[in-house]
Amino acid sequence: MAGVEETCASLRAQISATEAHLAGLKRDLANAEKVAQSTRPTNDEQDEGHKKTEYRWPLLQEEYRRYGRQMIVSQIGLEGQLKLRSARVLLVGAGGLGCPAAQYLAGAGIGTIGMIDGDTVESSNLHRQVLHRTKNVGKFKVDSAIESLRELNPHPTYIPHRTHLNPEEAPAIFNQYDYILDCTDNPATRYLISDTAVLTGKTLVSASALRTEGQLMVLNNPPRPPGDPEGGPCYRCVFPKPPPADSVTSCADGGILGPVVGTMGVLQALETIKVITTFRPAVSQSAGSTSKAESPSLLIFSAYSNPQFRSIRLRARRANCAVCSSSATVSLDSIMSGSTDYVFFCGSATVPSLLGPNERISPEKYRQRYPVSTNVDKSIMIDVRDKAQFGICNLENSINIPITNILASRSKPAISDANRTELPTWVPTELASSESMDPIYVVCRLGNDSQIAVQKLKELGLDHDGKRYIGDIQGGFRAWREQVDPEWPEY
């Protein structure tokens, strides 16, 4: 029964999205008909033998009014505005970066804006993903975003791609656009986007944000074929090796301050406008041209630093880059066939189970073993979330020891004499006492950090050679909310 209801809900969402897309196409048609009407000669002009077939001015009167404030900026002008109107821009991701970037690109008058994202709007998105509204929770993000963009500016053509970017379809999608914006948050997709952008000849504006910090780069600018040293570096040139899979933190795990990701998204829009409106010599002119491309750089933003911005100059294309060098090994065929495996290259994001079944306990079984109403059996609960999360909600009498403190200690305890072990300063008395045999349970948000902490506590000898139980709460506080306390705050 649940499966049928889910199918019905999915079909309703698709119908709603299709209707919204159809309404957008009708608006685009109405705009096109206005342009056609303005370029059509009158009967009097025909009678007088006038051959005028074009509207006198290249923009509609409403467009002059709408974009006038930016057109009088010397770097834009009418020529720049016409370049913006003819540009086709794809944003990969309709979240914290994609929303502000799309908002300003639409406001600037980009002719065609595509958005690709397979996620739906959640209430946890709304503090930073500024195109979405509470009423659109459950709706595809691309449909929710385009709905807001059309209200802002009906002139551009908006194209939704209701799917996650995958290697098989990426080249065909990228070929429909002139410029690409990477608004994603995972390494595997970043490498896929960069590789495809280079091989399809597209400039890429890439940004990232986490907690209170962000980064921005303009890559493959100017876009040149692999092996051409005049082309800008790609993502692989800057990061030849991906970070370890277990070190990658998402916004859901690490947190994000809304204005931080908003700042980076706005900067993406700015850099895109600059790339579109700045003159670049054609590929055939590059050898003899004296025009020099702007040096590539990595812009780093830190909200709580002074100064907040700093820039690091990037090197040119790497001579041994797997994508943009003369000895490239990655091709469109290898991407589309799957022989270039991005998940394997970046490592699995799935955290393996580090503990055995006897070292783990479900929240439900833990509560059955240690009811709130009795203190017959005692246990020690260690919460390894950071201080901020612990302050949001915590279990009574639990002890907060952030996982960062635990990982910062030595892997093995130092023995100072035959009877005494030196323990890190973060170890509380309840754990350090050689007389206490109360079992120790470790809990975290999702049940991943808690496993690492259990291993660490055992390495420090706090299990007294296996005589004292140390285990974790399987699934962390997410499972605790599902199995024990439905009122536990979900954040």
d(CA 65, CA 109): 12
Identify any residues that bridge with 383 across adjacent strands, giving them in sequence order: 400, 443
Annotated active-site positions, please?
251, 444
Instruction: Kindly report the number of other CB atoms within 10 A of residue 86's CB atom.
Output: 12
Q: Which residue has the tokens 């975003």?
A: 145
| CB-neighbour burial class of residue 282 (10 A; exposed 0-12, middle 13-18, buried 19+) | exposed
Looking at per-residue pLDDT, the higher value among 347 and 113 belongs to 113
Are residues 462 and 468 in contact, defined by beta-carbon separation less than 8 angstroms?
yes
Predicted local distance difference test score (pLDDT) of residue 56: 82
Predicted local distance difference test score (pLDDT) of residue 272: 98
d(CA 347, CA 345): 6
Band the pLDDT of 305: cuts 50, 70, 90.
very high
Band the pLDDT of 37: cuts 50, 70, 90.
low
Predicted local distance difference test score (pLDDT) of residue 255: 87
State yes or no: 85 annotated in a binding site.
Answer: no
Q: Which of 298, 112, 77 is closest to 205 using CA atoms?
A: 298
Kindly tell me if the per-residue pLDDT of 288 is higher than 60. Answer: no
As annotated, the residues of the chain forming the CATH 3.40.250.10 domain(s) are 360-484
State yes or no: 386 annotated in a binding site.
Answer: no
Predicted local distance difference test score (pLDDT) of residue 45: 47
Are residues 226 and 237 in contact, defined by beta-carbon separation less than 8 angstroms?
no
| Superfamily designation of domain 61-280+295-345 | NAD(P)-binding Rossmann-like Domain (3.40.50.720)
State yes or no: 419 annotated in a binding site.
Answer: no
pLDDT digit string, tens, across residues 388-426:
999 999 999 999 999 999 988 765 554 444 444 578 989
Q: Which residues contact 174 (CB under 8 A, 6 or more apart)?
A: 90, 180, 196, 197, 200, 202
Kindly tell me if the per-residue pLDDT of 16 is higher than 90. Answer: no
Q: Which of 45, 76, 75, 81 is closest to 60 using CA atoms?
A: 81
Highest mean pLDDT among 255-264, 339-348, 408-417: 255-264
Kindly tell me if the per-residue pLDDT of 436 is higher than 90. Answer: no
Least confident of 27-36, 119-128, 289-298, 451-460: 27-36
pLDDT digit string, tens, across residues 138-155:
999 999 999 999 999 999
As annotated, the residues of the chain forming the CATH 3.40.50.720 domain(s) are 61-280+295-345
Give this prediction's pTM: 0.79
Band the pLDDT of 19: cuts 50, 70, 90.
low
State yes or no: 109 annotated in a binding site.
Answer: no
**CATH number belonging to domain 360-484:** 3.40.250.10
- Classified as helix, coil or strand, 327 is coil
Are residues 236 and 323 in contact, defined by beta-carbon separation less than 8 angstroms?
yes
State yes or no: 8 annotated in a binding site.
Answer: no
d(CA 162, CA 172): 15
Kindly tell me if the per-residue pLDDT of 83 is higher than 50. Answer: yes
Are residues 188 and 342 in contact, defined by beta-carbon separation less than 8 angstroms?
yes
Are residues 164 and 118 in contact, defined by beta-carbon separation less than 8 angstroms?
yes
Predicted local distance difference test score (pLDDT) of residue 55: 63
Alpha-carbon dihedral sign for residues 153, 155, 160, 165: negative
